[in-house]
């Protein structure tokens, strides 16, 4: 929760301080509080950066498409967003018109997380193919092959059409995924 939410929950700054001292509430970082000492990092990212979208390694791991646990929380933000300087975050700046397509609210145990759906993540993986380690890329593509019947391929194609020079993504989709 944010500082304002924690203050409202406690009732006053004095009571907030007492809750922190008695470990009823934990201060995770500046402006972020939780009733759990070690909350889900994706939920925490949503509280700290509500306009961002969980993407790449973090979303792929959350969907079970890889077993590689990310060392940082990967967030997509608009081009005009403030740079995220907190440690433990990797920021991807994207055009504002490309930020929201495919972003969905996902219910996790500890709260809501805004992340890209699996179809958009497939597009993101294909877009960043050259920058991903080969074994990691192959693992993710193999995971997508296993769930291909669950995906909306028309939606994947719609997301691909949003990007310039998307011919190579169509080629990857045909050659490696389908």
Report the alpha-carbon distance of residue 110 to residue 94 in Å, rounded.
28
Residue 83 pLDDT grade (very low, low, confident, very high; cuts 50, 70, 90): very high
Helix-strand-coil percent breakdown of the chain, rounded to 5?
50, 20, 35
Asked if 90 and 72 touch (Cβ cutoff 8 Å), the reply is yes
Whole-prediction pTM value? Answer: 0.83
Nearest Cα residue to 151 out of 125, 178, 128: 178
State in Å, rounded, how far the first CA of the chain is from the last one: 42
What is the Cα 16 distance to its own chain's centre? 30
How do residues 28-69 score in pLDDT, each as one tens digit? Answer: 777 788 888 777 889 889 988 999 999 999 999 999 999 999
Q: Evaluate the CA torsion angle 150, 66, 55, 169 in order and state its sign.
A: negative
Name the phi and psi angles at 91, rounded to 5: -110, 135
Residue 164 pLDDT grade (very low, low, confident, very high; cuts 50, 70, 90): confident
How do residues 91-142 score in pLDDT, each as one tens digit? Answer: 999 999 999 999 999 998 878 899 999 999 999 999 999 999 999 999 999 9
Which of the pair, 123 or 12, is modelled with greater confidence?
123
Helix or strand or coil: residue 51? Answer: coil
């Amino acid at each position: 929760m944010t500082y304002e939410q924690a203050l409202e929950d406690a009732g006053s700054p004095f009571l907030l301080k007492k809750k922190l001292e008695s470990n009823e509430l934990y201060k995770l970082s500046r402006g972020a509080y939780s009733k759990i000492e070690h909350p889900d990092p994706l939920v925490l990212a949503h509280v700290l950066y509500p306009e961002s979208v969980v993407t790449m390694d973090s979303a792929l791991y959350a969907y079970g498409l890889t077993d590689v646990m990310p060392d940082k929380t990967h967030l997509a933000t608009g081009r005009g967003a403030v740079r995220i300087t907190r440690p433990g975050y990797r920021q991807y700046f994207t055009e504002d018109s490309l930020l929201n397509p495919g972003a969905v609210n996902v219910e996790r145990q500890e709260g809501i997380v805004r992340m890209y759906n699996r179809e958009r993540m497939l597009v993101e993986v294909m877009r960043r193919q050259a920058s991903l380690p080969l074994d990691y890329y192959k693992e993710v593509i193999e995971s997508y092959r296993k769930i291909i019947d669950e995906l909306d391929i028309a939606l994947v194609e719609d997301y691909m059409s949003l990007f310039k020079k998307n011919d190579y993504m169509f080629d990857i989709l045909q050659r490696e995924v389908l």
